[in-house]
Chains A and B, each alone.
Chain A
Amino acid sequence: MSSSAVMRTENLRKVYRTGTIETPALRGVDLELHEREFTAVAGPSGSGKSTLLHLLGGLDQPTDGEIYLDGRAMSGLSKDELARLRLTRIGFVFQAYNLIPVLTVLENTAFVLELRGMLRSERVARARALLAELGIDEYADRYPSRISGGQQQRVAVARAVVAEPSIVLADEPTANLDTASSLDLIDLMRRLNEEKGATFLFATHDGRLLDRVNRLITLVDGRVTQDVVQRDGG
């Protein structure tokens, strides 16, 4: 494994079972994700993109294979240990329903810091500074229902990076956004990647976003069919 590998998978497999029916979602994926990479996982619907991100994020357990985060194997970790890992090392941006509706934008951003036990004054200051940096501090005291879908996803990105995780996983973050908002969001993520050195891996099936990444992994039927490094991406 490369010394700069944040995450690595070995022969990762996932089979969903419904009664006697088995549906393979991943059929042996070997990947290495490196620090400061801005990677997209592309592929058609049902190719296994979301499954891969869920496994990498410790939200689901692989049927077979191994995942290493910062060199540490994730298999065998209890649910509470995986939760702790997600809290301290991984940032998430989901496709939809990303924010907690009863918390303001500021509180949503600071939520993971609260879960980590950071002092209120410290986490508020840190979240507010990040929102300002991302140009969305004017919404700090609004509830998610009072801002647009694009703004909500920007807040979700802010929340994902505020605790400075090893990697940010984003599962189709632009799926519900219009083109302009989608490009804005990807540009924001790219900016955080470049300015803060955050490592991003996001799933998408939107071809318009792919020229902005510096690495493109293509999944088809649960297998990596293409893994291209585009050093000039973005």
Chain B
Amino acid sequence: MKAALRHLARDRRRTLLTLLAVLIPVYFLVFMFGFANANLRDMFETATRFDTGHAQIRAEQKKATGSAIPLMRDPSDALAALAETDGIEWSTVRLDLPALASVGERSRTIYVRGVVPEQIDPIGKMTERIVAGAFLETGVDGVVVGEELAGLLRVEVGDEMVLLGAHPEAGLSAIRAPVIGIYRAPEATLGRTVIYADLGTARRLARSETAATAIVIRVAGITGPRDRGALDGAVGELRAMLPAGYKVQDWVELVPMVATYMGILTPVLAIVAAIFFALGGLVVLNTIYLSVLERTRELGLVLSLGASRGRVMRMILVEAGLIAFAGAASGALVGIGLILIVEAFGGIPLWGAAAEMMREIGMSPVLHLSVNPGQAALSSAAMAIVAVVAAWWPARRASRLEPVEAMRYVE
């Protein structure tokens, strides 16, 4: 070990180069994983807090309703079953109705989302999203529209809007409602299409005092899209307790984009990691090979004195292992350190078209990073193993040297 360290200290430049060949891939991977994790979590949080929850109870589809969610005429039995289910952190009743919003001669196809304002606000942080006017209050007639829709319909707070409900199961109906607030949606599509109304107002449009389209649920203990255990447990239990005519859909079914992104992300990250590992491994192979070449006479001497081939191989592999361990650990520390520094400054803000594009797809215009110790450890361990494996061939070559020829070797 001492000799290996001295060998490494002897040619500091090569040792540094080898160290960097291990460090850089690990650092990049930790950083890249940090970025991917944070953005995946961001997408997941946005979708599940603002839109879908972790799961929803919905009515079984009995007849074609087009893009409209089937109505639950009276979900009290489903709510009773939900109350008996363990692990539910939060739930609320929601009524989503396809409608036409008209102001003057301008109109847009939208969804009226009837909510219980006091329940939806703490989770969706709706009050924080209001950019003009105020958010809903139970019993107060009025709607809150997205910035995008407000722009398209050219409405302001205080303007009156005509909503023409067109749910296939509820029939046509129309109401007038004042715009009491304008909100900033996390995703531009939502801002263009979703109008918030008090549940009572939406039920008036659906011509039913008890109708709902979903009971939105958040399950306790879920911090990200990979936490499946708690969700599967709660959903399974709920499915068993619900009366006939209901179904439970989890977020994977409700926001397939996040699940798809997650599904794509894993192989993409694996491919990128493999490329980094291969490049790092090649550099390690090259530098260890050069080191063996330069030390041919010394290795010949060691073999002449009676060292076994295994011993010579171990000598080289121990050196490679030391660099691999140091490089991998440093890479992880540098990556984690950089992530912490970036996050201490509030992430990496995007601006202009890039920021708009991110908002359009429901992602934060500020790039955040998060440390996943497991991934950092895995990246480090994998790169360290790749480095040692890469050193195997030069080590084997060293062990196969003919002592006499090796001692005659001239650089």
Q: Are B308 and A80 in contact (CB under 8 A)?
A: yes
Measured CA separation A98–B404 after assembly (Å): 13
Which chain A positions have C-beta within 8 A of B298? 97, 100-101
Q: Contact size class for A?
A: 20 to 34
Interface of chain B residues 391 through 411 with chain A (CB within 8 A): 402-404, 407
Docked Cα-Cα span, A171 to B403, in Å, equals 14
Chain B residue nearest in CB terms to A92: B304
Q: Are A111 and B7 in contact (CB under 8 A)?
A: no
Contact B306 A86 (CB under 8 A): yes
Those of A39-82 within 8 Å (CB) of chain B? 54, 57, 59-60, 79-80
Q: Report if A119 contacts B (CB, 8 A).
A: no
Residues in B whose Cβ lies below 8 Å from that of A112: 305-306
* Cβ of B154 under 8 Å from chain A: no
Q: Within the complex, what minimum Cβ distance (angstroms) separates A18 from chain B?
A: 13
Proximity string of chain B (1-43) to chain A, C-beta cutoff 8 Å, 1 when within and 0 when not: 0010011001000000000000000000000000000000000
**Contact residues in A for B402 (Cβ distance below 8 Å):** 60
Are B407 and A94 within 8 A (Cβ)?
A: yes
Contact of B403 with A59 in the complex, beta carbons under 8 Å? yes
Closest to B305 in A: A112
Query: In the docked arrangement, what's the CA distance between A17 and B301, Å?
Result: 24
Q: Which of A59, A80, A90, A102 contacts B6 (CB 8 A)?
A: A102
A54 in contact with B404 (CB, 8 Å): yes
B297 within 8 A of A: yes
Q: Which residue of B lies closest to A57 (CB)?
A: B304
* Nearest-Cβ distance from residue B310 to partner chain A, whole angstroms: 8
Check: B303 CB closer than 8 A to any chain A CB: yes
**Complex alpha-carbon distance, A229 and B15, angstroms:** 54
User: CA–CA, A84 to B3, complex, Å?
Assistant: 22
> Is residue B269 contacting chain A, with contact meaning CB distance below 8 A?
no
In which size bucket is the chain B interface?
20 to 34
Contact between A84 and B308 (Cβ–Cβ < 8 Å)?
yes
A217 in the interface (beta carbon within 8 A): no
Contacts of A97 in B (CB 8 A): 297-298, 301, 407
Q: How far is the CA of A122 from the CA of B402 in the complex (A)?
A: 31
| List of A residues within 8 angstroms of B301 by Cβ | 94, 97-98, 100
Residues of A contacting B407 with CB < 8 Å? Answer: 94, 97
**With A101-B10, A102-B3, A102-B10: A87-B403 Cβ-Cβ less than 8 Å:** no
CB distance from A202 to the nearest CB of B (A): 16
Residues of A within 8 A of B305 (CB): 86-87, 92, 111-112, 115, 159
A83 x B297 contact (CB < 8 A): no
Residues of chain A with a CB closer than 8 A to B6's CB = 102-103
Q: Which of B273-324 contact A (CB under 8 A)?
A: 297-298, 301-309, 311
Q: Which of B215-253 contact A (CB under 8 A)?
A: none
Q: Is the CB of A59 within 8 A of B304?
A: yes
Question: Given A60-B404, A101-B10, A102-B3, A115 and B304 touching (CB < 8 A)?
Answer: no
Q: CB-nearest residue of chain A relative to B297?
A: A97
17 inter-chain pairs at a CB distance below 8 angstroms, sorted by A residue, are: A60-B402, A80-B308, A80-B309, A83-B303, A84-B308, A87-B305, A87-B306, A87-B307, A90-B306, A94-B301, A94-B407, A97-B297, A102-B3, A102-B6, A103-B3, A115-B305, A115-B311
Show the binding face of B for A, using Cβ within 8 Å. Answer: 3, 6-7, 10, 297-298, 301-309, 311, 402-404, 407
Interface residues of A (CB under 8 A from B): 54, 57, 59-60, 79-80, 83-88, 90, 92, 94, 97-98, 100-103, 107, 111-112, 115, 159
